Structure 1
Amino acid sequence: MTDRATTFASVEALIEPFNAKGVELGESTTFAGDLEWDSLTVMDFVASIEDEFDIVITMNQQAEIETVGQLVDAVEESKE
C-alpha cells in the first residue's frame, strides 16, 4: 500500500464513528453534503485527525477542505 493509501485508510477509520448515515466513502465524498456534518462534528473530527497524525490543520485549511480526498492530500502535505 502506498503512503497515500495508508493515510486514506486511517482517515476512513477515523470517519467511521462520525458516519451516522453509513455513507460509502470515496475520494469525492463531501463532509457537508454527503456526510451532513455540522460545525461541531467537524471540530471533533479535526481534533481526532490532528491527534492521529500529530499535525495541525489551520482554520484556513479547514475552510478549503470539502472532500475526503482533499483531507488526505492535506494530511500527506502536513506529514512532510
Structure 2
Amino acid sequence: MDRADTSARIATVIEPFNKKALPVTDDTSFAADLEWDSLTVMDFVAAIEDEFDIIITMNQQAEIETYGQLIDAVTKLRG
C-alpha cells in the first residue's frame, strides 16, 4: 500500500471526527486545527488501528501531530 492509498483510507476514517468540516492537508494539526481533545484522539486512533489492522503505541501517538505524520506512520507500520 502506497502513501496515496493510505491517505485515501485515512481520509474516510477521519470524516466523522472532523466536526468542523475543515479541509484536511498534510499540515493539518489534530490538536490545533481540528481542536481534538484526548478522548477524540483515542477514538480516532482506535478507528485507524481497526481500519489498518495495526497497533499504534503511545510513544508513536505522542510523535504524531499532523495528518501527514499519521499517513507516514501508518504507511511505515503497514510495511
Range class of TM-score, shorter chain: over 0.9
Q: How do 1:2-17 and structure 2 match up within 5 A?
A: 3-17=2-16
- Structure 2 portions without partners, runs of 5+: none
Amino acid at match of 2:24: L
Secondary structure, counterpart of 1:48 in structure 2: helix
Give the match for residue 53 of structure 1: 52
Deviations 1:45-71 (A, max 9, x none): 000000000000000000000000000
Deviations 1:13-65 (A, max 9, x none): 11100000011000000000000000000000000000000000000000000
CA distance in 1: counterparts of 2:67 and 2:38, whole angstroms? 16
What is the alpha-carbon root mean square deviation over aligned residues?
A: 0.9
TM-score (normalizing by structure 2): 0.97
* Number of aligned residue pairs: 79
CA distance in 2: counterparts of 1:64 and 1:30, whole angstroms? 12
Q: Give the share of equivalent positions with the same residue, in percent.
A: 66
Give the match for residue 39 of structure 2: 40
Secondary structure, counterpart of 1:17 in structure 2: helix
